[in-house]
Amino acid sequence: MSEKGILRRNTKGTKAQDMYSWPEEAFEEMDSTLAVQQYIQQVIRRDCSRIEEILEPPEGQDEGVWKYEHLRQFCLEFDGLAVKLQQECKPDTCTQMTATEQWIFLCAAHKTPNECPAVDYTRHTLDGAASLLNSNKYFPSRVSIKDSSVSKLGSVCRRVYRVFSHAYFHHPLLFRQFENETHLCKRFTRFVTKYDLMSRDNLIVPISEEEGEEELSMLQRDHNSDEVDESYS
């Protein structure tokens, strides 16, 4: 490591509030094959609500690598929502991967696309995304990526978005609490529209911040009301 290099590592015993607290570094000074990932994570840590700043590539950055690294980062953060969903998204209650009544999604993890519980669909989606994004066949380098490999990112985006839509329509309080903390669905929606990775017709989750805050307040009131009713039953 050079004298100007920054050690990006949480040492043993680092407290949670002190994690990832190394100094920021200009992108052009990041001397690593992981520079794009490090830069994206740096901007997210600065303020995860500044969507356009996070999605704006450094000058001269290869667009294919930029899209690839962002999707990797989305999947890393998406784990947080998947863990929260396990609290209430059960195979016996969410027997299908659905959003609205018009949307039932088949899981591509099987030999032939098949229905499976939403929680299993979520796990299969993350496993499939990890397998593709870490494939030496399609992504042998994180510095240069072939167009034919970049074209495969859209299918991952569609499957990840389906989990967002399921959470929004079937677990709204959990979704809104997670979204208010991370702005992940809003960032993901802006990402796929900015880079034409999904059809706008398939983007069914509202992403207005004002609507989200009002909706969370209403959901919390309803949730508290339900708890009061149950306590007096």
Known binding positions for Zn(2+): 89, 94, 166, 171
d(CA 225, CA 149): 50
Q: Are 219 and 91 in contact (CB under 8 A)?
A: no
DSSP bridge pairs for 105: 97
17-56: b (≥16 Cβ within 10 Å) or e: eeeeeeeebebeebeeeebbbbbbbbbbeeebeebeebbe
Which residues participate in the annotated binding site? 89, 94, 166, 171
Tokens 């609290």, residue? 87
User: How many Å apart are CA 76 and CA 122, to the nearest integer?
Assistant: 13
